[in-house]
Amino acid sequence: MSLYAIGDLHLHFQTNRVPRGQLKDRIWKGHEEKLRKNCLRLIGADDTLVLAGDHSWGRTLEECAEDFQYIMELPGRKVLLRGNHDMFWDANKTAKLNKAFAGKLFFLQDNYVTCQDYALVGTKGFTFEGPFYLNARGKITGWDEEKEAHARKLVERELARLRTSFEAAKRDGCRKYIMFLHYPPTNLLEDESGFTAMAEEYGAEQVIYAHSHGESRFHDSILGEKNGVLYRLVSGDYLKWTPALLF
Which chain residues interact with Fe ion by CB under 5 A? 8, 54, 83-84, 211
Q: Which is nearer to Fe ion, 54 or 110 (CB)?
A: 54
Minimum distance of Fe ion from residue 23's CB (angstroms): 15
Residue 178 Cβ vs Fe ion, minimum distance, rounded to whole Å: 20
Q: How far is the CB of 92 from Fe ion (least distance, A)?
A: 20
Cα–Cα–Cα angle for 160, 161, 164, rounded to 5 degrees: 90
Give the nearest distance from C-beta 103 to Fe ion in angstroms: 27
Nearer to Fe ion, 118 or 212 (CB): 212
Residues 166-185 as b or e (16 or more Cβ within 10 Å = b): beebbeeebeebbbbbbbbb
Instruction: Give the nearer residue to Fe ion in terms of CB position, either 8 or 110.
Output: 8
Chain residue at closest Cβ approach to Fe ion: 54
Coil, helix or strand for 245?
strand
* CA separation for the pair 215, 7 (Å, rounded): 15
Output 85 or 115, the one with its CB closest to Fe ion: 85
Helix, strand and coil in the chain, % to nearest 5: 30, 20, 45
Cis peptide bond N-terminal to 19, omega within 30: no
